[in-house]
Structure 1
Amino acid sequence: MQTAGNRLERRKARTRQALVDAAREMIADGRSSTASIADITAAADVGFGSFYNHFEDKPALFAAAVEQVLEQMGDTLDGVSPRSDDPVQIFCDAVRRTGRAAVSHRQAAEIVDRSGFALLDAPGGLGPRARRDLAAAVDAGRLEIEDLSLATAMTAGVLFALVHRWLEDPGSVDDRRIDDAAERLLVMLGTDPDTARAVAHTDLEMPQIS
């Protein structure tokens, strides 16, 4: 049985999501720095006063929009069962899948490109997942990394470069280029070239990302 409280909660959730959706579009379009709260609520088709029922200010809204994009992508990629116990293979597969996902969804790509290395400071999303996978490879003795933060930043740098290049010229980045980049990243992180080549060019299952 539906109650008034349930209907209210669903309405509040729809309003919040409408604001987040509007923020995602504005970040992707490069309008986040100039948009007013009135602009945001108009784009979301909600009342001006509704904004402060959900967010303290614009930075809070845009942070929530970025976090949602990254968490949706990360959760989907995490849902793929590992095909190997090798943590280097698991890390490499994640890099390759993330690259493929990012260059097939323009809004997500624009948000990643505009946010840049600030994403590494986010509590959720892709940065912590990369650090987790790298730490597992170190713990298993498969990689020797003194500074996990630097290695995570190197991983992000490779992905940011692929995304930026794809936005400039979509035809310049395909699966082969992504796999080549993953191979070179593994070498930079200390994997021997033959292993890096073998790991980065295997068949890869891709989940459906909405």
Structure 2
Amino acid sequence: MSTSEDPTAPSGRVARRQRRNRDALIRAAGAVMTEKGIDAATMLEIAERADVGAGTVYNYFKSKDELAVAVLEEMMHDLAVEIEEITVGFEDPAQVYAFGVRTVLHTATTDLSWKQMLYRSEVIADALFRRMGPFAIRDLRRAAQAGRFQVPDAELVWRLTAHAIVGVSLAITTESVPPGAKDEIVVRLLCMTGIGADAATDLAAHLPIDQIAKNPR
């Protein structure tokens, strides 16, 4: 069959081009929004940085806000991969999960890109659940299998945790909750795993905070 007769060839090329354009727009938006902030960034500037037509950006994202969410989702996935790389040598699966929770809370309250989007808490919480979920849910299940956590429904626990992290991060950035409460917040989030307050406190107290601080993303 010739290329012209292959119905999948054109669509394959189109799909690849669309993927490249979308990826380029997300990268460009991330760079521009980091430099200038979400409010000051313009779709025209982002399109120019991505080397696509000014109108092309709207073929992929309906608004700058939607594009900002896409940027943050990619950052969430990158953070999940970074946490996995840092914790690869951890022997306790419960510590792996706890480290991830503490790192996400730290990032959400210190990284400008995250902080700028927290006002859309419901959208961001859903994005956090979806993008970091495969990693967090896996870690919850491993800790439960090791007898460290009591988690009959790991997906539900992570959903509750994701929403709680976003909500309390917004409270911290708006100064409704003091930043110094982060350690206590982590303990309460870990209590959702069924380990009890004392065990959660001990687990949180032995996290390598220095590694979290060096990898804020």
Tell me, yes or no, if structure 1 residue 17 matches structure 2 residue 24: no
In structure 2, do the counterparts of structure 1 residues 160 and 61 end up closer, same or farther at CA, with 3 Å as the change threshold?
A: closer
Match of 2:127 among 113, 116, 119: 119
Matches of 1:130 and 1:113 in 2, distance apart?
23
In structure 2, do the counterparts of structure 1 residues 23 and 106 end up closer, same or farther at CA, with 3 Å as the change threshold?
A: closer
Q: How many residues align?
A: 188
Matches of 1:15 and 1:143 in 2, distance apart?
41
| Identical pairs, percent | 24
Match of 1:158 among 161, 164, 173: 164
TM-score by length of 2: 0.69
Gaps of 5+ in 1: 1-8
Matches of 1:160 and 1:16 in 2, distance apart?
22
Q: Which residue of 1 aligns with 2:44?
A: 41
What is the identity, as a one-letter code, of the residue corresponding to 1:196? Answer: A
Tell me, yes or no, if structure 1 residue 200 matches structure 2 residue 210: no
Q: Deviation per CA, 1:37-71, whole angstroms, max 9, x where unpaired?
A: xx51245446414436xx53427745532322212
Q: Which residue of 2 aligns with 1:140?
A: 146
Deviation at 1:193, TM superposition (A): 2.5
**RMSD of Structure 2 on Structure 1 (CA):** 3.5
What is the identity, as a one-letter code, of the residue corresponding to 2:126? Answer: A
Matches of 1:27 and 1:139 in 2, distance apart?
43
TM-score by length of 1: 0.71
Instruction: Name the one with the larger helix percent.
Output: 2
Matches of 1:25 and 1:112 in 2, distance apart?
18
Q: Which residue of 2 aligns with 1:180?
A: 184
Q: Which moved more, 1:40-49 or 1:133-142?
A: 40-49
In structure 2, do the counterparts of structure 1 residues 171 and 140 end up closer, same or farther at CA, with 3 Å as the change threshold?
A: closer
In structure 2, do the counterparts of structure 1 residues 186 and 171 end up closer, same or farther at CA, with 3 Å as the change threshold?
A: closer
Match of 1:102 among 100, 105, 108: 108
Gaps of 5+ in 2: 1-16
